[in-house]
C-alpha cells in the first residue's frame, strides 16, 4: 500500500472531524456570525472527498442549510418593512436550530443525515 494514501479509517476519521468542524462553525455563528461562511466554504471544499461516505450527506446538508437559511434571512429582512419579517425571522432561527441539532445527532450516532436535500 502506498504510504502517502491514507488508510480508509484515517480518511473516514478526518471526514468525521470535518463534518464536526462544519457543524461547530454553524453553531458558533450564533455568537460570531461569520463562522457560518467559513463552515460553508469548508463543506464545499471537502464534499467531493466525502463522496461514498456518510459524511457526504452531512456536508450536503450543511450546504443546503446555508443557502436556504440565507434565502429565508433575505426574505425576512425585506418583509420586516411591512411587519411580517420578524415572524419569518423567528421561524428561520428555529428552523436553523432544528437542522443543526439533527446534524449533530446524526454525527454523534455515526450515521448519514437522512434525505439531506429536504427542507426540514
The three grid cell numbers given for residue 46, joined into one nine-digit string? 471537502
30-62 per-position pLDDT tens digit: 999 899 999 999 999 999 999 999 999 999 999
Cα–Cα distance, 47 to 27 (Å, whole number): 19
Distance of CA 29 to the CA centre of its chain: 12
pTM of the model: 0.90
* pLDDT tens column, 61-75: 999 999 999 999 999
- With the C-alpha atoms ordered 53, 28, 73, 92, is the resulting torsion angle positive or negative? positive
In this structure, what is the dihedral angle of CA atoms 14, 93, 66, 27, given to the nearest 10 degrees?
-20
Amino acid at each position: 500500500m502506498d504510504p502517502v494514501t491514507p488508510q480508509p479509517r484515517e480518511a473516514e476519521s478526518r471526514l468525521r472531524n470535518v463534518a464536526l468542524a462544519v457543524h461547530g462553525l454553524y453553531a458558533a455563528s450564533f455568537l460570531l456570525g461569520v463562522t457560518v461562511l467559513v463552515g460553508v466554504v469548508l463543506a464545499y471544499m471537502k464534499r467531493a472527498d466525502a463522496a461514498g461516505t456518510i459524511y457526504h450527506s452531512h456536508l450536503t446538508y450543511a450546504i443546503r442549510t446555508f443557502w436556504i437559511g440565507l434565502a429565508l434571512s433575505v426574505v425576512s429582512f425585506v418583509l420586516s418593512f411591512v411587519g411580517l419579517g420578524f415572524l419569518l425571522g423567528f421561524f428561520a432561527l428555529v428552523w436553523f436550530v432544528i437542522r443543526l441539532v439533527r446534524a449533530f445527532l446524526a454525527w454523534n450516532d455515526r450515521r448519514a443525515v437522512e434525505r439531506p436535500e429536504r427542507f426540514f
